[in-house]
Structure 1
């Protein structure tokens, strides 16, 4: 049976700063259909959905909705026409009632609107009083509030962006049981997920994105999980013996994590040795950043322990981690790592001000220390008063690395260290890592770029849904196996 299309996208391109991230995509959504969108980190999934929902505009191509060409420039325009994006993290106003959260932004809320909300809530099995504060809702019910928001606006297209990433198995089943009946009303669903088993359970059609292209598309029944994995990684596989030939004298265990558990990750255990790089692979949302934050005392954990150089660290105590010589370079360097609107040298010296200053700041010594790292790390600056904001992304990252090197760390945790930097700066960053290893420093590398993890690690652990799913030594590194483990196929 031929299904009538709700939405058709033809030759969709999206270019950011001259770099294409979507490359001539053709994709459609039929009435009553669940179309799953799968792809690795950075494949273009979110960009595509933001174009459909009006957050971004395509650089080229056409979108037809209900047979008519549309060009949404704002999300509210898409909402008005019946296209609604349910985000991965529900946007809830905790001190407003559930009803107020659902109807927020509507031009008119009257008795008829309220009855419509009640009717939809009843149909989808939402059993919480609409008068209750939204802040009391479980994550699963927050997702339902987002879905009701879409349906109250007469949505014909629902985009579910990783809706199950924070749900229990029971809550996932409940969500699917609620969404399936909606398909009978000719609603179509784009379903983005990293959980391949859910894609096969829930979808009618699958499209796989890689590097901004659709590389596989068809009815779900035509594929097996391994087909999707191979489509995501292409023909590439890596034997690390061709890469990373430098040998290091790996020393004693310096950091041990024993049975660490939180709300996000469960029963994590591993060791890291002197002069070793432990790569942590996994998809976005797997719990890698939360794990790193817990190790350095920035996020809580409810059981387990972190032992550094034979001494147990105090949980949720960043000072304890710093004093033990663990340094962390976070994923968002602008938010947590660098001071943009002061001279760059002040960021470099910020971790050791107590050490180099007495009553007053010693600007001369700050600049001398800064110059040492400018020379060693080849940071390109115009003068020593240049603001960090004026540096390139790669040089900003080198400033952040310089800051943690001033503390003479024994363990360095790098979270997405090359995000937003060019190829030359990437190589510079990993040359710095190699120099650290020569000095006996242990490195934990978290990266969504599998090539980067494989080429720069001595061992790799793969985290899936908050648990270690696989551990590999260098001789066993395989792009395909690591990808399968990241998506929970093995």
Structure 2
């Protein structure tokens, strides 16, 4: 047992006998969890395993159907507690959306919470006390910056630390911090900084529940890892005594978990499908590249490098300032969404809110890309809609398997499966995917890899945009690296490593 939590007597957080259902679907079944003071506990599990439901109950946004006990710092909370009650008990939450106002100062953002601004005579803001509060809050996460700076001036990891400092500053003593995918949007160079600061926070006695799909972070940071599967806590293991294979096996139920394939056989490239020639935008500078039939071209780089802009240009969401887009040998100064769709281009943006309709059902999201196969004259054939939806659900392994369920009700990874399957259903000539594995667990990631490889083998061209350098190497035939808006290199994947890509992506 780690020294950080070996001697703890009163836990920072505990819950026993927690169950929750939504309609007829069991989300959590008799879950128990105890986290010691100063412990960094990892929480792992496939998308839909119950992690998000647990966090929402802990935060007071959902209420459990049944719970034997739920307490913070040795004190039990009453059933049906509110979000303000759990915060008052000393639990802070930092979600993937940091909810920071970028144009406001750091000290203002630290005050945007239940505690509010420091007040003086007549209820006026006492700026001297407020500044002292801000300095103290930043010191708790070991962040040495001017509190009067706007959040927009900070590096991504520093913004995350401001959100953590705000969560901790709402109470005198933070018993527990719950961090949901805190590095999902961070450049690789910033991840180590954040992990080091989290160790500093834990050394002061605050426990951390760290939720991530990134196995390397679990092993680099946590003391123990709890694994959820099908709404149950199936195991808690000492991080130093386990392995990636064991954790994956616990998540999947496989005795011998499959290893995700690394590099795979290069395809025989067909004729060019699409090309950018001398494209410049507000961020891109004179970018030229092409992708052929039966090829996966990965585009990578640090966040803001320009790689992510290529998808918007190809799909007609951004109009180039100069250059041309070539499709099947025909030159276009710019594209529209309609012309891109007519040319057989599908686009899955990084923001799922732009890719699907959260309030619509799975079935409606599946068929919205092309209604023709499910219409009979002027009418939509409901049976045909359900048939196509079930086909995507089965092929992509969507959980729960319910075509009538709202897209918003699914976990992030299962939403991504639906949106990915929606485009595979229409057999595009070119699919552009922007950060397709963002927020996706290792099992769903493996399934997405398999699906895109099958499509490639059937002749589809793919542009796979990712800031994950190892992923770029694992999935592609060729890989291009962006730095400050320029395409620095483009190489056969068999001839480069993730280290080579990192050098190019950081300007070395």
Q: TM-score, normalised by structure 2?
A: 0.62
Unaligned runs of 5+ in 1: 240-249, 352-369, 383-391, 402-415, 474-490
Q: Which residue of 2 aligns with 1:363?
A: none
Could you say what secondary structure the match of 1:135 adopts?
A: helix
1:195-222 CA distance string (max 9 Å, x none)? 2222111111111223322333111111
Please tell me whether the aligned partners of residues 13 and 175 of structure 2 are also in contact (alpha carbons under 8 angstroms). no
Q: Which of 65, 68, 73 lines up with 1:66 in the alignment?
A: 73
User: How does 1:19-168 map onto structure 2 within 5 Å?
Assistant: 19-61=25-67, 62-70=69-77, 71=79, 73-104=81-112, 105-106=114-115, 109-110=118-119, 111=126, 112=129, 114-154=131-171, 155-168=174-187
CA contact (8 A) 2:249 2:257 kept: no
Counterpart position of 1:6:
12
Question: Within 2, Cα distance between the matches of 1:374 and 1:333?
Answer: 26
CA RMSD across the alignment: 5.5
The residue aligned with 1:208 is: 227
**Could you tell me which residue of structure 2 aligns to residue 407 of structure 1?**
none
User: Alpha-carbon deviation of 1:337?
Assistant: 6.0
CA distance in 2, matches of 1:15, 1:464: 35
SS in 2 for 1:60: coil
CA contact (8 A) 2:345 2:431 kept: no
Aligned-pair CA distance for 1:272:
6.2
Offset of residue 36 of structure 1: 0.9
Counterpart-to-counterpart distance in 2, 1:430 and 1:113: 47
Q: Deviations over 1:62-90 (max 9, x none)?
A: 31222232245432222111101111221
Could you say which residue in structure 1 is the equivalent of 2:474?
470
1:171-320 to 2 correspondences below 5 Å: 171-235=190-254, 254-255=273-274, 271=291, 273=293, 295-298=314-317, 308-311=327-330, 318=337
Q: How many residues align?
A: 407
Shift of 1:261: 13
In structure 2, C-alpha distance between the alignment counterparts of 1:181 and 1:17, rounded to whole Å: 42
- Identify which of 381, 391, 402 aligns with 1:422: 402
TM superposition shift of 1:227: 1.7
* Structure 2: segments with no counterpart, 5+ residues: 1-5, 120-125, 260-268, 406-413, 478-508
Kindly provide the CA deviation profile for residues 320-373 of structure 1, in whole angstroms up to 9, marking residues without a partner as x.
5245342457799986667999xxx9xx9999xxxxxxxxxxxxxxxxxx7884
- C-alpha spacing 1:215/1:312, structure 2 compared with 1 (3 Å): farther
Following superposition, the deviation at residue 299 of structure 1 comes to 6.2
Q: CA–CA distance in 2 between the matches of 1:316 and 1:371? A: 23
Contact kept in structure 2, 1:13 and 1:58, CA below 8 Å = yes
Once residues 419 and 141 of structure 2 are traced to their aligned partners in structure 1, the CA distance between those partners, rounded to angstroms, is 51
C-alpha separation in 2, matches of 1:374 and 1:37: 44
TM-score, structure 1 as length reference: 0.64
Shift of 1:149: 0.9
Offset of 1:253 from its aligned partner?
A: 5.5
1:101 CA drift (Å): 1.1
> Shift of residue 472 of structure 1?
8.6
Counterparts of 2:22 and 2:155, CA distance in 1: 37
**Alpha-carbon contact 2:142-2:200 (below 8 Å) kept:** no
**Cα deviation 1:298-327 (Å, max 9, x = unaligned):** 369999997532346657854652453424
Retained in 2: the 8 A contact 1:22–1:213?
Answer: yes
SS in 1 for 2:17: strand
Whether the aligned pair in 2 keeps the contact of 1:463 and 1:470 (CA below 8 Å) is no
Is the 2:344–2:430 contact (alpha carbons within 8 Å) kept by the matching residues of 1?
A: no
User: Compared with structure 1, are the counterparts of its residues 115 and 334 closer, same or farther at alpha carbon in structure 2 (3 Å cutoff)?
Assistant: closer
